Each structure stands twice: as C-alpha cells, then as structure tokens.
C-alpha cells in the first residue's frame, strides 16, 4: 500500500516531464552518464503533433496524454508504480480510510500473473474461500492477458450489490475454481481484540494498516494493561499492509524509546535513506507473539520485522508475502496523481523484505486438506455441494456434520471427517458473523498460545 504524502507542488522530475510534454521545450540536463532525455521529449512532441493533425479520426487529447503517462510508468515493470486518474485517485483515498466498494482482496502482478496477496477478513472474498496465493485467470468472461493491474482492479470493482465471477487457479488443485461474489461497501475495522481468559492472553487481530490502526491498537493494549493481561498475540495473517506511518506508530507501542523500527533506502547514490526509531516509551512491555502467513505483506512485515529483530517477540506461522517497497503519491492536480516506488524497506537488522518475505521463528503450516481428499474437494467446490446441503440443514451441529459426511458419500465424493467438517464450517460461516478466533482448525494460533506462554 502507499505511503500517503500529499504535496501541493509538483516534484521537479514530474514538472520537467510535463513541461517538455506540453511545450516541446528542449530541456538541457546536467551532464551525467544518462541518455539525452530532451531528445526523446522532442520525439514525443513530434508524434503528438502528427497524431493531432494527421490521424484519421478526431483524437481525445486527454486520453492521449493519460495513455502516454501510463505507458512510461508501465515500462518500469513495477506494478506498484502507476498513474492515478480521477477514478483511481478517488479509490486510493477510499482505501487509506478503510472504506471502499469491492469484494475485499488485495492483489498484485507477479511474473505476468494476477496473484492474491490476501483476502481481507470478513469480506465477500474471505467468506467465499479465496486464499492468498490464488492466481486469478478470469473475471466474468474477460481473459486477463495483457491487461494492466489498474484495469483488472476496475473489472473486479463495480456498483454495490452487483455480482462478479472470479476464476482462480490454486496450487494443489488440478481444475480452476470459480467464485461468484457480490460487491459490497467494504468498511474495515482495522483492529479487533478479545481476551483468551483460559490462557491469560490477549488476542488482537489487525486486518489492515489504515488511518485508525495505531489508535485502536493503543486502546486494546490499554485495556489489557488495566486487566492485568501479561502476554499478547498480534495476528497479522491475511493483512495486506497499508500506511507506513501506522506500522511505525504501532511498533512504537511495543518497543523501547530509541529502538530502530525500519529503514528505507532509495536508488543507490540518490541520498534517499531514512531510519525510523521509536520516539516514546513502550506502552506494553509484556511478552508478545506475532502471527504471520503468506498473506501478511508490506506494513505487516515492517511490524513483524521490528518486533523480531529487536528481540521483542517471536513470529509464528508461515513466511510472509515479501512486499517491501515504499510508494509515494504525488498530486499532479487535485484529482490526478502518481504513485511511485521510491525506496525499499529494510528491517532493523538490515535485511530487505522485498521479494523474500520474513521467515517465522516457528514455522507452522495452516490447516490443509490431505492429498487423498483434494480431487473430491475440488469437485465439491465446483458443484457447490455445501450450498446444496445447507438448503435443508442449518448450522454447524453434530448431527449436520454426520449428515454432511453421508451426503458426500452418497454423491460418490467421500472425504475425511476433518475435511468435511472444515468445508461445512467454512460454508456456514459465510452467512454469519465469524468469530474472532476458532481453535478447532487453527493450528497456528494454538502454537502461538503455546509459545507466548513460555516467554519470560
């Protein structure tokens, strides 16, 4: 996600580009080991004049220049550097406030494929069963080949309560899986928390790093302190990231004053280096364990790295996503702008997150289906058999669990009891507010409870 920095004045490089673009001026740059940019700007101006005067149809000047800017940014092969037209710019504002219309997934482009970074908790995508690592191959009837990331995002989004069909390829499954989703106004409560009283542990689920995250985290920790809760689990699974300043502020709540949180480094020789330190005493000094998985990205990785590298706590789960680049947004006017990757994140130990992710201290795989079950499970999802079963059965009861096993056997699609229970419970939870945690199928949380209980 983006580091949200508003600037009224244009960055010099952007200003220079636009000046040459619209005026055709011959700009002279300081002699360096660079190609003569002013010549290329002159070529561009000539092409524009030819199209404007000679092209067979009347041309849309705005469309020409927007397309040119997009083309220049796409040549960088960085999905996070992009032009923000009026619609994109408005959507960016919505995302950083935690409010938008969509299905609730964070996606990226990796080696030409559209990959789900994470489904956002308690959204249509999460309830339907979309998972981090799923590769989206089709949206409704549209193939995605040669489409840009912003174009794909627009296909997924739409008016509230309209439908969109996503087809995904998932590792371990032979056939594509199709999800019929209803677009909904998404309001993400950044932080939810409760007390695991039987374990004397506080549990905090952080869904995104939006403008309210650190404030809500501070509220949770204040309540835990008042209740005498002396250990805490911070769950960052499926958290796609968000605002850099919120990751820093949240880290400060756990780290002693002066401790390094993260550093950012730009292009070599640019002088773009900044190190962030905790600027106030820690609010919470008791043991902490952080839950991560392959859906934990960006700001989530900053927080996890700061906690682990400072010896403040342990990480449990799976290797994180590896989205460790810094985006800065520039206003070209009040309605359009650019998001540009200007630096990469480095953890306090000096390790770059980008493309690598962070390995946890305790690797625990999420619950997965046995290999012997996968072929039948694929058919169960494809034929929407759980939906059919729930038309005549309500709830995740002992009787329904038994009946669902028999229901699948009768259709010649037998699976293990654990797999059947997982499918049934997931489908039931699609239609009710999901509990904040569920230990029945959560081996990672069970391990986190064990680890935090042993911390001094």
Which residue numbers are catalytic?
Answer: 298, 309, 323
Residue 140, phi then psi, degrees to nearest 5: 55, -120
- Residue 51: beta bridge partners? none
Strands (E) across 111-156 are located at: 113-119, 135-139, 142-143
- Residue 118: beta bridge partners? 106
What would you report as the CA-atom Rg of the chain, rounded to the nearest whole angstrom?
A: 25
What does the alpha-carbon distance between residue 84 and residue 339 come to, in Å, rounded to a whole number?
Answer: 7
- Residues contacting residue 18 through CB under 8 Å, at least 6 positions apart: 10, 332
What does the alpha-carbon distance between residue 348 and residue 261 come to, in Å, rounded to a whole number?
Answer: 6
Q: Is 292 helix (H, G, I), strand (E, B) or coil?
A: strand
**Ramachandran bin of 82, using left for φ above 0, alpha for ψ from -120 to 50, beta for the remaining angles:** beta
Show the DSSP H helices in 190-261 as ranges: 213-227, 244-252
Contact, 362 vs 315, CB < 8 A? yes
Q: Smallest Cα–Cα separation from 308: which of 364, 355, 255?
A: 255
Angle at 266 between CA 263 and CA 270, to 5 degrees: 125
Terminal CA-to-CA distance of the chain, rounded, Å?
A: 35
What does the alpha-carbon distance between residue 211 and residue 97 come to, in Å, rounded to a whole number?
Answer: 6
Q: Smallest Cα–Cα separation from 117: which of 354, 294, 292?
A: 294
**What's the burial of 295, exposed, middle or buried (CB within 10 Å: 0-12/13-18/19+)?**
buried
What does the alpha-carbon distance between residue 168 and residue 137 come to, in Å, rounded to a whole number?
Answer: 6
Show the DSSP H helices in 260-316 as ranges: 299-309
What does the alpha-carbon distance between residue 84 and residue 333 come to, in Å, rounded to a whole number?
Answer: 11
What does the alpha-carbon distance between residue 128 and residue 90 come to, in Å, rounded to a whole number?
Answer: 27
Q: For residue 274, how many C-alpha atoms fall within 13 Å in the half-sphere facing its CB? A: 12
Beta strand 105-110 with 99-102: parallel, antiparallel or unpaired?
unpaired
């Amino acid at each position: 996600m983006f580091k949200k920095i508003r600037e009224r004045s244009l960055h010099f490089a952007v200003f220079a580009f636009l000046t040459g673009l619209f005026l055709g001026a011959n700009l002279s740059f300081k002699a360096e080991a660079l190609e003569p940019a002013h010549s290329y700007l002159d070529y561009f101006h000539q092409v524009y004049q030819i199209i404007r005067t000679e092209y067979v149809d009347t041309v849309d000047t705005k469309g020409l220049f927007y397309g040119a800017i997009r083309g220049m940014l796409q040549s960088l092969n960085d999905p996070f550097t992009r032009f923000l037209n009026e619609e994109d710019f408005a959507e960016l504002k919505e995302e950083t406030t935690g409010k938008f219309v969509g299905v609730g997934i964070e996606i990226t482009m990796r080696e030409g494929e559209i990959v789900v970074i994470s489904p956002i908790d308690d959204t249509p995508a999460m309830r339907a069963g979309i998972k981090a690592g799923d590769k989206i191959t089709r949206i409704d009837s549209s193939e995605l080949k040669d489409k840009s990331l912003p174009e794909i995002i627009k296909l997924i989004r739409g008016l509230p309560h309209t439908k969109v069909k996503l087809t995904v390829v998932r590792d371990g499954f032979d056939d594509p899986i199709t999800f019929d989703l209803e677009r909904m106004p998404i309001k993400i409560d950044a932080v939810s928390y409760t007390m695991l009283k039987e374990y004397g542990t506080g549990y905090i689920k952080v869904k995104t790093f939006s403008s309210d995250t650190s404030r809500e985290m501070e509220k949770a920790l204040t309540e835990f302190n008042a209740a005498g809760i002396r250990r805490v689990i911070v769950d960052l699974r499926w958290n796609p990231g968000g605002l850099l300043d919120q990751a820093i502020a949240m880290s400060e709540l756990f780290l002693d004053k002066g401790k390094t949180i993260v550093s950012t480094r730009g292009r070599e020789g640019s002088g773009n280096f900044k190190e962030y330190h905790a600027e106030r005493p820690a609010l919470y000094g008791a043991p902490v364990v952080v839950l991560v998985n392959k859906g934990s990205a960006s700001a989530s990785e900053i927080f996890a790295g700061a906690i682990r590298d400072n010896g403040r706590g342990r990480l449990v789960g799976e290797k994180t996503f590896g989205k460790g680049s810094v985006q800065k947004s520039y206003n070209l006017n009040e309605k359009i702008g650019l998001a540009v990757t200007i630096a990469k994140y480095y953890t306090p130990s000096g390790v770059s997150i980008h493309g690598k992710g962070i390995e946890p201290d305790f690797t625990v795989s999420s619950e997965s289906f046995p290999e012997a079950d996968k072929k039948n499970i694929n058919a169960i999802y494809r034929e929407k058999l759980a939906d059919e079963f729930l038309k005549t059965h309500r709830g995740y009861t002992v009787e329904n669990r038994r009946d669902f096993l028999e229901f699948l056997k009768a259709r010649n699609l037998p699976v293990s009891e654990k797999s059947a229970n997982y499918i049934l419970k997931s489908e039931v939870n699609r239609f009710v507010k999901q509990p904040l945690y569920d230990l029945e199928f959560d081996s990672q949380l069970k391990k986190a409870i064990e680890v935090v209980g042993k911390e001094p």
